[in-house]
């Protein structure tokens, strides 16, 4: 379903000395604000957006600084606080009313923390297979663990700087996600999501520097979010967990554990993998619109 994907206004929203690339699809509010994770960019929502637009809803997508089409300044400094500020810049500049935040993967950090800091500017949160304050026993994707563990930092840095080695690692990691998908979802994952991720790193300027910095801070941000759990538990906003059941690293058990910390939470499982918005866009849209 591609009709409606091309009808957007494009913005380059200032954040400090850099600019955040944003697409705004006209429609009724509350606007869905769709966020991407570490290995990709806003294109992971290309299959989902037409369903939301067809329902008459306003949709905003953007690339965090250092990723996708947003600025990647030489020597740029990237952090989870910076990503939270990217989100705030988008919401404020576009004068969005209370929004529906839709984080995926590592943008769960920005999504939940924005809701904690600005509950009056959020209508609800819909988390798609995303991280927040998860136990250290979680088996994260090997690419994340390789870069996040201080003892492996030198090895990770060497791999990231060697295109051949990094290409092999990227392909290997994608295969781990692909192997867990039903047969009828594997081809689209390979042809679309796999290419989005590859382009994110291979096309110049690369998202590699931002990825390296963000993954190095991953465990520290998890620890900070664990300290924020009392504030999350007190949050009165509805938080819907929409979860792909075939994700080998963000299992449904992770969503169930998070549900215990939500005052007004709900869990909705979809027969899809980690990138459920691409594997099953119609089903995900139905959950978002309900």
Q: What is the CATH number of the domain that holds 47?
A: 3.40.50.1820
The dihedral sign for the CA sequence 197, 202, 206, 209: positive
* Any domain includes 212: no
Q: With respect to residue 189, please indicate whether it lies within any of the assigned structural domains.
A: no
Say how many domains are in the chain: 1
For residue 143, is it within any domain? no
At residue 7 the predicted structure's pLDDT band, cuts being 50, 70 and 90, is confident
- The overall pTM is greater than 0.85: yes
pLDDT tens by residue, 33-48: 999 999 999 999 999 9
> What pLDDT band is residue 50 in, cutting at 50, 70 and 90?
very high
Contact 20, 70 (CB under 8 A): yes
Residue 154 lies in a domain: no
Q: Which domain holds residue 244?
A: 9-138+220-289
């Amino acid at each position: 379903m591609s009709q409606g994907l091309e009808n957007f206004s494009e913005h380059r929203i200032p954040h400090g000395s850099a600019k955040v690339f944003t697409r705004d699809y006209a429609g009724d509010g509350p606007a869905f604000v769709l966020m991407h994770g570490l290995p990709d960019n806003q294109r992971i929502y290309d299959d989902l957006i037409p369903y939301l637009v067809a329902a008459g809803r306003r949709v905003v997508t953007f690339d965090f600084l250092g990723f996708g089409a947003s600025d990647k300044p030489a020597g740029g400094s990237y952090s989870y606080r910076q990503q939270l500020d990217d989100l705030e810049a988008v919401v404020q500049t576009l004068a969005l009313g209370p929004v529906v935040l839709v984080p995926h993967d590592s943008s769960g950090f920005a999504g939940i923390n924005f809701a904690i800091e600005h509950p009056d500017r959020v209508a609800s949160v819909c988390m798609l297979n995303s991280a927040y304050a998860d136990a250290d026993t979680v088996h994260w994707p090997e690419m994340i663990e390789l870069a996040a563990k201080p003892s492996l930092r030198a090895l990770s840095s060497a791999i990231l700087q060697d295109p051949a080695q990094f290409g092999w690692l990227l392909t290997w990691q994608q295969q781990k996600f692909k192997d867990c998908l039903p047969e009828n979802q594997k081809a689209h994952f390979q042809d679309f999501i796999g290419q989005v991720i590859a382009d994110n790193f291979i096309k110049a300027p690369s998202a590699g520097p931002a990825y390296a910095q963000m993954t190095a801070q991953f465990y520290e941000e998890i620890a900070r979010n664990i300290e924020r759990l009392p504030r999350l538990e007190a949050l009165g906003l509805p938080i819907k967990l929409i979860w792909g059941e075939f994700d080998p690293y963000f299992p449904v058990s992770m969503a169930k554990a998070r549900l215990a910390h939500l005052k007004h939470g709900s869990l909705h499982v979809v027969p899809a993998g980690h990138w459920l918005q691409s594997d099953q866009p119609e089903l995900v849209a139905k959950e978002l619109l309900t």
